[in-house]
Amino acid sequence: MVFSPLDHSLLNISSVGKPVSLTLKIGIPCVILKTCKKSEPLQLKEKKVKRIVLLLSVLIIVLINVSCTKPDYKKITDDFIKASTPLKDYTIREVAETSSSNWKAVIVYAKQDRANMPVLFFVSSDGKSIVPNSMVFVNNKPIFTKSLEPELGKIDFKLKENDRIVYNPSGKKTVIMFTDPDCPYCLKAKEKLQNYTGEYRVVVKYFPLEQIHPGAIKKAIGEQAEWLKKTRTDLKGADILMDAKRMVEEDIAEAQKAGIGGVPTYVMEDGTLKQGLF
């Protein structure tokens, strides 16, 4: 906080010949100080007045700083988590602004198996109220709209890419997408990838969730077979179907080894698992 020099118009000083009355026009009780006598030289009077003004200015600044101390939002959230939630392994990442001056967003990531899952807390600006893991609305609008993606960990083995479906083959970086033919989010991602020309070369591997999408494995084999017909002219008839089946089985085994629990899931070049990339 920056303070301008104290304006001398804020001071009322009585005429010479009487005790000098010094009154500060600020929001605290006025202070009247008798600073000099008639017999004192004028320069001495002025020095004393300036010294008093300086001391009072410092006092005012100290009082303002004390009254304007901001709450420690991270500590408030940490105390709440320890006292009121079952979370044990977590990291408080940052305090973010919201569209409301009355609330701060505190972003926490909690460890779940291999993944770090985002948990959002809202703390009132005065630090007296906290809203855990729920959105705060002002005028029927959410006060925080930033998307928080889970951090799914990393894999330490290389995935097989040969003969898989590829979107944007000229991309400079490779990302592998695990998908399910019947997953609506996967279908939306594939629609975006049809005309995608960005930095990623996207390799498709299959992790069909047969429990919720019966017949998904068969569809995955069919899609892979259609790709092989276009790209592997050396394969004929039953060989295409056998290869497609083998490749889908490899994909499922790799997804399980990676601990993937849902689709679409993306594996970056460094092995980091992500969601929501497309």
pLDDT for 60:
66
pLDDT band at 5 (very low <50, low <70, confident <90, very high): very low
Residue 235 · residue 189 · CB < 8 Å = no
- Residue 62: is its pLDDT beyond 90? no
Q: Which helix (H) or strand (E) holds 155?
A: none
Write the pLDDT tens digit of every residue in 160-197: 999 999 999 999 999 999 999 999 999 999 999 999 99
pLDDT at residue 44 greater than cutoff 70: no
How many CB atoms are located within 10 Å of the residue 269 CB? 11
The answer to whether residues 45 and 36 touch, using CB atoms and an 8 Å cutoff, is: yes
Q: Is the pLDDT of residue 34 over 70?
A: no
Least confident of 53-62, 141-150, 168-177, 215-224: 53-62
Say what the pLDDT of residue 2 is.
38
Section 63-90 average pLDDT: 84
Mean pLDDT in residue range 74-88: 94
The pTM of the full predicted model, rounded to 2 decimals, is 0.58
Mean pLDDT, rounded, for 102-121? 90
| Mode of pairing for the β-strands spanning 23-24 and 137-138 | unpaired
Q: Is the pLDDT score of 243 beyond 90?
A: yes
On the question of pLDDT at 228 being above 70, the answer is yes
Encoded amino acid at 89, one letter: D
Q: Which residue has the higher pLDDT, 219 or 23?
A: 219
Band of residue 20 on the pLDDT scale cut at 50, 70, 90: very low
Domain annotation for the chain: domains and CATH numbers:
8-67 (no CATH), 73-142 (3.10.450), 166-274 (3.40.30.10)
User: CA neighbours within 13 Å on the CB side: how many for 119?
Assistant: 21
Stretch (H or E) spanning 131: strand 130-132
Phi, psi of 28 (to 5 degrees): -130, 160
